[in-house]
Each structure stands twice: as structure tokens, then as C-alpha cells.
Structure 1
């Protein structure tokens, strides 16, 4: 390749990376990093809530699980499982438990990501070693972290295939009923769901801008995370995004503060500790 073509290619890659970063922040972020397909997939992430009826390709589920199992796992404990749901009737029941979110009904595939301590308990029984450490809060946090890392690796893999995804936290609204629907054993808990399918071209999703990096990135020690100027700028950018999408305009600062205002804002999840205890997690 000639020097001219190399220079053109480098310029095109820098422009593409710059465009992806602009979409993510709605302002320029000039970085001395070369574009690549992995960055393109990650920076292009958007939540897809409208799906075409086409099924996911053969092998997509297994590839997603392989990607999930390629994520880091603390002490290689791998304390998670995933339940793939494609049956429309079961999806409808799960949708009702998760707040009647229509994307669960539309998506051809619904993945339920499970914090699974039952498997480690059985392993302990098989080798004659107690698994008492699983009953401590640290072990539950470890399971939630590992499950989340696995799911996000699966999302990147699925999106690299041209599929769309959307996390469903509403699956925690009624965890005991979800556990019964999925036939979960004790010491297992559906942490969240994930809709998967081909995005509906008639209702394309867009990249939602995030907080500016000065609000989340600190060097050496924690700094001022809620600088009024940075948050005000983000409110303006998010409103611009909402306007483009035909959404109700609402400041992030107002939306976020309402979401964490008290127990009544948790959609019934304020009783989660008690439900987890009944599901076999003692959380000492």
C-alpha cells in the first residue's frame, strides 16, 4: 500500500473514531488512538427496544456464552448461569413480571443472567467441603460482579454480529416469581435479563450520550464528581438527544435524583434483601 493510501486510511480511521466518540459524548474527544472494529462495536452500543421478528442466527446463543465465559472470573469460580428463553408464552409471563416491557415480547431471544451459588454448593457436597463462605455478602457481590462481566462480554459479541440488545433490570421487580418461572434452585437469583434480536429498521435506536469524562475520570485520587458546569452541560446534551428522538425532554440531574429519592422509587425492590434470604442467600 502506498504512503498516500496509508495516510488516507489513517485519516479515515481517525475520523471514524472521532465520530463514534462524538456520538457518545456529543462533543469532540480527540484521542491519539487508531480506530479498530472492536472499538467501533463497543462505542456504537445502544439499547435496542424494537426488534424485527427474525430469529437470531444459529449458533448465536452458544457464541454469546463463549464470549461470556471469556470474561474475567474471580478465582475462576464462575458463579453464574444463563437461561435462554425463546418460547413466546414464557417470555410473556416474564414480561409481566418485569413491568410489561414490550421489548421482551418483541425480541426473539430473552437471556436471563443468574447469580448461581447452587453449583458451588453442589461441588462442595461432592468433595466433602462445606460452602459456608457463599452465605456472606462478599460472595453475593462476587457473583453479581462476575455475572455482569460475563453478560457485557456477551453483549459485545452479539452486537458484533449485527444483533441488538437491551438489559432488563425489571426482572428484579418480582424475583421469587421469576425464580419459580425459570425453575431456579435455591441459592440462585436472576440478576437481570437481556433481550436479543435484529433491530427493527423502522425504529432505529441511537447512541445515548453519557456524562462527560470530567465527571467520572479522576487521576491519582478522587476529585469533584458533580461539578455543576459539567452536569449542566450534560443536561443540555441529553435534552438535545431526547429532542432528536422525539422523547420527553428531561434533565439527567432531575431524572437521576428522582430514581434514587427513596424506597418508593425502587419498583418494589426495596424488599430485595428479604426475598434473597428466602431464595437461600443469607448475606451475612
Structure 2
């Protein structure tokens, strides 16, 4: 029987780090599937479509389905479809974003679009940025799939994120982009609706205070910060908001009583609490 409590789970820094699976991640997801807890992997990466993400997870030994993946590209496309059905977009981005827009009734154009939509890309040309700037100056609305300034790479370095690309257009046009990705309530609300849970029954599990935890706090979700990603325990004092729980890694949720304590909102001495 499907449980009332559901999980929204960030990926990089929670399930894997670069190309390496974090200990306990596979077993935790198997537990959710076995015990019929609804869950979604929530990612601010708009490059890959759901099938590609599933294939990556399968290679790591985590056997999930496309229905378990919810990307900022999907959130962006659904938001645009709700604002202007069957609209048009000039896109700087890759396959995941293009697929999501097409699936939600949008046409990709090279002239006079309703929206300029920016996602991640490994080969973004200055010519495309200049084109986007002129479109926004002529009235197209500027949309970002997320505002992350950088993204981690598989070799441990970082690369420019969507927010870095968008900032160029914002600076040139003096227009601010609207973002539907984490921590935007747009993405968090859409993901919760997919789970079919109520706010207090939704648990956000992530490694980043500025996106995962902030998004969950703003929506009234229970929030669990894991320290296997971009946040150290000492960083918490820099934020005006705090997660409900702090764990060393996802493996802690497999320990006796820890999972149940978080489900029920109870304290457990072995866990670190903010």
C-alpha cells in the first residue's frame, strides 16, 4: 500500500559524487521501492532527459523508472505551458530541455519568440547569447531553468552553470530572469503534486542549503541535509534558515530507528540535528 509520506531527493552529492555511488544510496532507494514510499529524484540539471538519467542510475546499480525523475527542464516547460499554452521559445540548452518543451506543446524558433529559455550547455556560443540578448530587448521574456552559478563535474572540478550564462543576458538587457528550478516554489510544488503528498508529509533530502534546503523550507517540507556534498556542518551558521535534520550521509537513514524518526518528525540522538 502506497505510503502517505514521500521523498524528494537530490542526486549529485546525495546519491552519487561525480561518477561514484555514495555508500547506502542503492540500499536506501531499494527500501523506498520495497516499502512503497513515493519518491522523485529532483535535479537542477536540464541537459539530460529522464531516459538518460535513468540509464546513468542503472549503470550505478539503482534501478528506477522515468517516472522517478523530475528535472528543472520539466518544471520550466510545465510552467511556460501554464502561462502561455502552445507558445514559442528560443532555447540555449541541450536535449533534456528541448524534449521537455516539445512534450509540453512548445515550438522552438530562431526569431521573435515568446520566451528566451536558458539551460545548461557544454558548447554555448557567444553568437547565441548575443541573439538572446536582442530578443529579450525586443520583448521576449527571459527564463532560466535554474540559477545555479556552477555545476560539479565528474573529475572533481566545477563548470559554469545556468546562472552564470543567464547573468550575461541580465547584465546586458537590465532584465531579470524568472527561474522555475530549485529553490523556486514552482518546481517544489509541481514535484509535490507528482508525489501526491501533503506539504508536511514531504521530505526534501539534499546536500545544498541554497537550493534543496531553502526550497523545502519555503514549502513547509521536512528537510534533511546530508554532508556528502557541497555543505559542511560549519556552513550552517551562515544561514538564517536551518534543515530539520543533518546527517553525515544517506547511509545513516538505514540505521535502526533513523528512518522512522524522520518520517514521524521525532528526534533521534544518533542523528545530528540543526
**Which TM class, normalised by the smaller chain length?**
under 0.3
**Which of structures 1 and 2 has the larger relative contact order (alpha carbons within 8 angstroms, sep 6+)?**
1
Structure exhibiting the larger radius of gyration computed from Cα positions: 1
Query: Normalization by structure 2: what TM-score?
Result: 0.27
Query: Normalization by structure 1: what TM-score?
Result: 0.26
Q: Which is strand-richer, 1 or 2?
A: 2
